[in-house]
Structure 1
């Protein structure tokens, strides 16, 4: 059993449709009213059916009050890291500390190149992600006395001014499944953000956790610093099912609680644009899971980490 002790987060993964922009805003506001912690959005800058994700996040920050906002995940090959760092810090300041950064190394290379990006090999993409994280943290580090220099092979800065500092310690969550990405997460990231549908099963979560933990320890980090997250999909129904997240609220609660206590997952982001499901997830599922996990942790003596920090 693995429980890393993080506070629990629940969120929505909303389609950033350019055909119905006000519906995207309304779903985000509904997620906030339902008590969800996060509203997240995919980032495909080459896709005209989607709103530009960074513009959307900025607009939503002004149309909401409490919910935190993040890309799930940003398309790094089309998001220059030093500019992204300042964009994230600026929006974090304007929103009162409600921005987190999800990053992806890229994958759909033909449309990326069509938009002016550079085609990278898998190894180059991972290297670029590592360099980008260094640049992001370096720009945010206003306590450093020297200008930022990162002489990377994919991303580089040569004496960039630092700042502004964000309103809070922005978390960097990375999506990825392969061993090299998992090791990068262990060395540098604040969280692992995979999608359940792309995992081969629960054993893959355990194996990935082991890889992340080993890399963290090799880098001198405490593995419990790294939040384990999960994008999920499903359907609420009156009758039970043998499938994950297809059934009544009580079944969802049991399955999510098991993922927390046995697999270390502490953030669940529900995909889909059904307003009733978003409300049920926030108002019924999330409080019940929190209460069960709190009770189990109290019995076992596991201490929960406070706040959103990784």
Structure 2
């Protein structure tokens, strides 16, 4: 799991059609009014239906006061980097530091040729992009003159300037291996789009970027990870609460920290949902996870092996990492006031969420059995990672378990941040129960870390599957015990108090 600790930012990817220019400007102003951070537009100069990107961005910046603007991404083959550098710096000065630079190697080469641009082979286009970054940075520098003798771009004593109002980030869009290595070497940010690089493929792409950054002597955290996302498609599928948990998962597990919503003309409802419901909750979830604040640690170091007992007729061991007899008990239900059907449905929602976690846990256990039996080759499965999802049985053992662990962590963080404070306020008699449940969340987080450690060790140790199995057994017993306790104590109060 990788969290680079970047500040979270949220923004929009706005339509660029000239026919709906007024709508685009309205959505840009709404983006700012809703408290988002960024607005961007695509750059396809050969498309006659589109407004020029830099002109549109300039007008958006003029009609707003806090939004940062950037091309998503600038079409380098039709925008000479020396001129692009001055255009970006000039707009940054005029806006007081509200410009970033998305940059791409180019696409749709026939259309580029039609506008007089040079057609480049894939390798040459990446070389040209790397040279362009050098040119742009040279003209943003404080040197007296800049000289670059490249194959595609040259500077012969050009004077840098004007100086930008703030350090403009160069965010490169691209998903192929050579482009990812370039991002790691030279970029300030990486800007993929979910329709072209869905969430399951982020891990491998980020690994390539990190490896390239380290090889170039850079800290991988120097590269901000941005993500263009679409409502209705992963990671924004399902209800808004699920959007938030999925984006928080990408922050904490994949290091993504800036999410740009692709908005169509008239897309106010998606934009409002993203800005008012999703972005604040993602911030809360991530802040809570990063702070690590919580109750006492109930798991003693010696509890790794657990107090092992075998229940009659059981097919697996039962590991105890806490004393269940010490768990507080909440107020008993009043038999004279039975819950209505609507109230029971509120408590059932918690059970449904827990059942999903139980089902996923069983899939993890089954996958471990397959690997242990030799029915699934770990090396072969790992090569398929980019095409798999968490629910597929053929998911690699390590990635599948890690994904499941993130789901559990996110679920618990949502409870800690949103549900538990409301329960404490609604019925003070529940405070000891809620405090205990919150403390157990931290125990489970420790157990999840043990699963992660066993997975890492499994790669280098031939018998590592045994350690993974032991760690997952500990997770199984701990989690099932916790879920049962939580349901016993909270299902009735959730219905009675109508918290959910």
- TM normalised by structure 1 equals 0.92
Flag the structure with higher strand content. 1
2:278 alignment counterpart: 285
Cα distance between partner residues in 2 of 1:162 and 1:285: 42
SS at match of 1:247: coil
Cα distance between partner residues in 1 of 2:91 and 2:242: 38
Equivalent residue in structure 1 for 2:292, among 273, 286, 299 = 299
Cα distance between partner residues in 2 of 1:216 and 1:109: 29
Question: Any residues of structure 2 matched to 1:23-172 within 5 Å, and which?
Answer: 23-142=23-142, 144-145=143-144, 147-172=145-170
1:156, distance to aligned residue in structure 2 (A): 1.4
SS at match of 1:196: coil
2:181 alignment counterpart: 183
Residues 245-292 of structure 1 show CA distances to partners (whole Å, capped at 9, x for unaligned) of 122211111111111111111011111220121122112211110011
Equivalent residue in structure 2 for 1:219, among 216, 219, 222 = 216
1:230 alignment counterpart: 227
Cα distance between partner residues in 2 of 1:232 and 1:247: 14
2:194/2:234 contact within 8 Å kept? no
1:35, distance to aligned residue in structure 2 (A): 0.8
1:14, distance to aligned residue in structure 2 (A): 0.7
Question: Any residues of structure 2 matched to 1:232-271 within 5 Å, and which?
Answer: 232-235=229-232, 244-271=235-262
Cα distance between partner residues in 2 of 1:53 and 1:93: 18
State the superposition RMSD in angstroms. Answer: 1.4
Flag the structure with higher helix content. 2
Unaligned stretches of 5+ in structure 2? Answer: 295-500
1:300, distance to aligned residue in structure 2 (A): 7.9
| Counterparts in 2 of 1:243 and 1:127: CA distance versus 1, 3 Å | closer
Residues 150-206 of structure 1 show CA distances to partners (whole Å, capped at 9, x for unaligned) of 11111111111111110000000000011111111011000110011112x434211
Residues 230-257 of structure 1 show CA distances to partners (whole Å, capped at 9, x for unaligned) of 111013xxxxxx9531222111111111
1:229, distance to aligned residue in structure 2 (A): 1.0
Residues 42-62 of structure 1 show CA distances to partners (whole Å, capped at 9, x for unaligned) of 000000111000111111111
SS at match of 2:70: strand
SS at match of 1:70: strand
Cα distance between partner residues in 2 of 1:300 and 1:137: 41
Residues 107-144 of structure 1 show CA distances to partners (whole Å, capped at 9, x for unaligned) of 110010100100001011001100111111110102x2
SS at match of 1:254: helix
Deviation beyond 6 Å, 4+ runs, structure 1: none
Cα distance between partner residues in 2 of 1:152 and 1:78: 18
Structure having the higher Rg: 2
2:199/2:235 contact within 8 Å kept? no
SS at match of 1:29: helix
- TM normalised by structure 2 equals 0.57
Deviates most, 148-157 or 62-71: 148-157
2:75/2:104 contact within 8 Å kept? yes
Deviates most, 288-297 or 201-210: 201-210
Q: RCO (CA 8 Å, sep 6+): is it higher in 1 or 2? A: 1
Instruction: Determine whether 1:206 maps to 2:200.
Output: no
How many residues were matched structurally? 292
Cα distance between partner residues in 1 of 2:234 and 2:228: 16
2:235/2:247 contact within 8 Å kept? no
